Amino acid sequence: MADLFKIITSELLTGEMKYYATKVIIKGLQQEESIWYSSCNICKSKVTINEDVVHCAKCSKENIDYSLRYVLKLYVEDDTSNAIFTLSDSEAESIISVPVSELENIKVTSIEEYIKIVKNSCDKEMTFIIKAKDKICGNRTFRSLTVQSIKKDSHEINHGI
């Protein structure tokens, strides 16, 4: 099991990915952007919707079927540091405990209930398998930490990670 300080400070070669098991406490969800997006049912890329026309740039198609998918950014911490983990649809739903389409309806009908559900996702200690990869954005390099899976207990973890 790796601590956040080790994950954040470990050396990575350009393009290299490393996988870690880590136990952290979820402190919050980043909500400057939506925690879900409209997604192409074929390629899962974000679609644009303009005047009832749905367009997927990756598939180069219009009026495609789409659905909502979670994309969460979690603020996490352990005894050594803090970080932001990115989670995709199925892992995110296991944190939120509500399907994304249902949560969208709740947000529209009762913002108080929505806030309660989001807050209930916090202050949980969980074990994640994460992928660490350095990404370059302009002239800066940052470490991307993406959740690959969530483990219920330490017996599920491959100790070779």
44: nearest Cα among 54, 60, 59: 59
70: nearest Cα among 118, 115, 111, 109: 118
CA angle centred on 16, ends 39 and 37, rounded to 5°: 10
Predicted confidence at residue 109, as pLDDT, reads 96
Report how far residue 2's alpha carbon sits from residue 133's, in angstroms, rounded to the nearest whole number: 15
115 neighbors 121 (Cβ within 8 angstroms) = no
pLDDT by position in tens, the chain (length 161): 999 999 999 998 878 999 999 999 999 998 777 899 999 999 989 998 888 889 998 988 888 889 999 999 999 999 999 999 999 988 999 999 999 999 999 999 999 999 999 999 999 999 999 999 998 888 888 899 999 999 876 544 554 45
In terms of phi and psi (left: phi > 0; alpha: psi -120 to 50; beta: otherwise), the region of 78 is beta
User: What is the domain partition of the chain in residue ranges?
Assistant: 4-35+71-154, 36-70
CATH topology of domain 4-35+71-154: OB fold (Dihydrolipoamide Acetyltransferase, E2P) (2.40.50)
